[in-house]
Amino acid sequence: MNFGESERQGMAPSIISQRRQGRAILAAGVFVVLISLFFGLSSLWHFREAQVAWEHHNTRASAVVNALADFNRQTGYGGFIHNFKNLVLSRDLTRYQPNIEANIAALRVQLDQLDTLLEESEDKAAIAQIRSTFEEHISNYAKVHPMVAAGASSEELDAVVKVNDGPALKALAELNTRFIVRATEVRQRAQQTYAEGMRFAWVGGGLVMAAIIAAVVAMMLFLRRSVAANAILLQTQAHLTEREQQLRETQRIAQLGGWKAHLASGRLLLTEETCHIFGLPVTEPVTIAQALSHCLPESRQRFEQAVNTAVEDRKPFDLELQISTAQGDVRWVRVQGEVRHEVAGPSAVAGTVQDITEQKQAESALREAHDIFDRSLAVAFLWRNEENWPVEFVSTNVTALFGYTADEFTSGAVVYSSLIHPEDLTRVGEEVVRHSSEKDTTKFTHLPYRIITKGGQVKWVNDDTAIRRKADGSVTHYQGVLIDITERIVAQEQLRLTASVFSHAREGITITDHKGTMLDVNDAFTRITGYTREEAIGQNPSILSSDRQNAAFYQAMWGALQAQGHWSGEIWNRRKDGTLIAELLTISAIRDGQGSTQQYVGLFSDITERKTYQSQLEHLAHFDALTHLPNRTLLADRLHQAMAQEQRRGRQLAVVFLDLDGFKAINDQHGHQTGDQMLIALSTRLKEALREGDTLARIGGDEFVAVLTDLEDTATSVPLLKRLLTAASLPVPMGDLSLQLSASLGVTFYPQAQDLDADRLLRQADQAMYQAKGAGKNRYCVFDATQG
């Protein structure tokens, strides 16, 4: 073997080794490139997966949060529940019906949107529960609508609108809680995916730095993509944080938190608001035992018993408990919950907790305030700052002062400003305006003013008023405490009059001896009675007697004078010319040191005009202003009396609901003045068609009701019904015109097989009247009690 050959033979393994090394290096380079591409593509896939998942969740979360916010707004203040409650309180169908129906349409759209957005079965079950409660509210509204139109009372409306909102509130709270938990889980998965992508990116980057330029270029492209993905992730995380903050704020405002206890592990999950309610740190874990330790013993026993019962019966629970916070404060909470069951048995208990301490304190304070005012002479009022000062609240002892009940004030049946004496009303109004315009004024005291009671009695009151304002200083309410100071005012007046010795008295004054013989009178006595001083002295006040009061009245008067030393009241007397006068009279006994009566002093004023005005008011309250027939109020009173009388006598009565046919056309064609004249003429004819003991009332528009009493049987009413139809159909001359109508009558009888009240009889007659309308008008139909 020569050198060249041996060199070649020696170089062959080296060349082979170099080739092998080259192939190995090439293979390693290719492997590095492939690994780099693998890690790069993997990181890009992870980032893309995180981005897609987060964008999907963020879009869905935004839609859900917006839908929940719209739902809360449509149900909250100014929404469906608010408008529905105002409808029940005010019974103002015209004002609140359009708002309620708009709320119903909007809420149904929001519920359908939430049902579409929420895919999990638990979420759909919660939406179903909320929808069920909402539909129950709608159902109640459908019932209340005709009741309000029919004039149902607040008690009747309250009995219909009661709905258990607990399950719906719990479902909404659980929905919020699950949404926060899922948002947290999605964020954690996104962060985990991002972290995995970053690990792949760093490994790929290290390999790319050791690989070929193509890998470096690929790495640069990858890094650019990574930066973009990181920006997207940070942006989505910011959106998630904003949504979580919005949900937390909602729970904070409602003071409503959520909780979930795993029965097997003892692990307890609390929302941030729940931790705030219990005074617990948000960042530290809390066990079930630690949470229960904050319940007072009796509340803890009730809670554990409720959970055990829920586990056995699979029924939710709703409790009001007392807890002691971590800071030692005792608070009231409302806890709702239910047990989650799986195939193996109960797995967890979940629910909501709401801080109701302020509600409990307000209820307690309100009860104490009611008790205090009910036992005191002071009457508490809360007026709205609106025209005529409508009463929003008044203590139940108001009847002793005004004669009206609290319900009559709060329902609007009694207008407070109308009860203030006309002579004091302007001054009282000016005082309210003056003090309200002073921004720093929070309370003031009226000068004493007079009020007129239900019975027409004039009383003096002292009114201490507090002003409620908004943040901008505008007045919303006036809160007043009224005290009857009538006796004090009268005593002061008597002292003043006694001191002035008749000189400036506008009231008539008489002074008699202990036997009643008049010793002296003042000029006002002469002006009011017509008797001169000379004619009156030596006479007994009985010369003024009108015989309007019986002997029992005077016995009670003298009895009060003997027992109490004074008497005050209204009395009818007669002037010298024989005309009647109404007097507000006060008689006081003047006694010596031994208590023996020496003289009597009588002080009286002429209130004839006031009594006349009161009589006119009473007439307006019970009679129709146009036809002077009894109105609905007087009709109800007479119908009640007639029902009781016929029940005692074993006779029957008929209730006839009469509606004029074609009256609207005459009103539209000839005007309301002609329509009014038609109603006056027809009411006279209809009344003449009835007997003396029957009642005809106008209850509104062209609707009348007749009560036919003392009927032997139903057939006895037929001639009267025909006379009513004839009277309604006769032509009515109106100047050059001769107008003619007819009437549709609905009739029902009392007594019936079942016990009925007056309202039920009127509804039966109304229903029969509509049957007469449908049958062709100008006829009567009798209500079939067997089908009613």
Q: Are 509 and 502 in contact (CB under 8 A)?
A: yes
Could you tell me which residue, 569 or 609, shows the higher pLDDT?
Answer: 569
Chain mean position to CA 622: 30
Strand partners, 451: 420, 459
Token pair, residue 602, equals: 């009588």
Could you tell me which residue, 365 or 278, shows the higher pLDDT?
Answer: 278
With CA atoms as reference, report the closest residue to 727 among 696, 769, 765, 767. Answer: 696
Token pair, residue 349, equals: 């208990």
Token pair, residue 533, equals: 């001083």
Flag the least confident range among 82-91, 136-145, 291-300.
82-91
pLDDT over 70 at 54, yes or no: no
Residue 413, classified by CB atoms within 10 Å of its CB into exposed (0-12), middle (13-18) or buried (19+), is: exposed
pLDDT over 70 at 416, yes or no: yes
What is the average per-residue pLDDT within 539-554?
Answer: 86
Q: Are 388 and 417 in contact (CB under 8 A)?
A: yes
Supply the Cα-derived Rg of the chain in whole angstroms. 44
What gap in Å lies between CA 558 and CA 571, rounded to an integer?
A: 14
pLDDT of residue 765: 93
Average pLDDT, the chain: 82
What is the average per-residue pLDDT within 267-295?
Answer: 84
pLDDT of residue 482: 92
Q: Kindly report the length of the chain.
A: 788
Residue 589, helix vs strand vs coil: strand
What is the average per-residue pLDDT within 93-111?
Answer: 83
Residue owning tokens 């404060």: 329
Residue 422, classified by CB atoms within 10 Å of its CB into exposed (0-12), middle (13-18) or buried (19+), is: exposed
What is the average per-residue pLDDT within 703-731?
Answer: 93
What gap in Å lies between CA 316 and CA 706, rounded to an integer?
A: 55
DSSP string of 708-750?
EEEESSGGGGHHHHHHHHHHHHS-EEETTEEE--EEEEEEEEE
What gap in Å lies between CA 497 and CA 144, rounded to an integer?
A: 59
Percent of residues, the chain, with pLDDT higher than 90: 28
Cβ neighbours around 320 below 10 Å, total: 14
Which pLDDT tens digit goes with each residue over 300-309?
989 888 888 8
What gap in Å lies between CA 653 and CA 640, rounded to an integer?
A: 11
pLDDT over 90 at 754, yes or no: no
Percent of residues, the chain, with pLDDT higher than 70: 83
With CA atoms as reference, report the closest residue to 354 among 247, 268, 277, 296. Answer: 277
Residues 774, 779, 782: CA angle, nearest 5 degrees: 80
Cβ neighbours around 608 below 10 Å, total: 15
What gap in Å lies between CA 316 and CA 352, rounded to an integer?
A: 12
Q: Are 608 and 528 in contact (CB under 8 A)?
A: no
Amino acid at position 183, single letter: A
What is the average per-residue pLDDT within 264-279?
Answer: 84
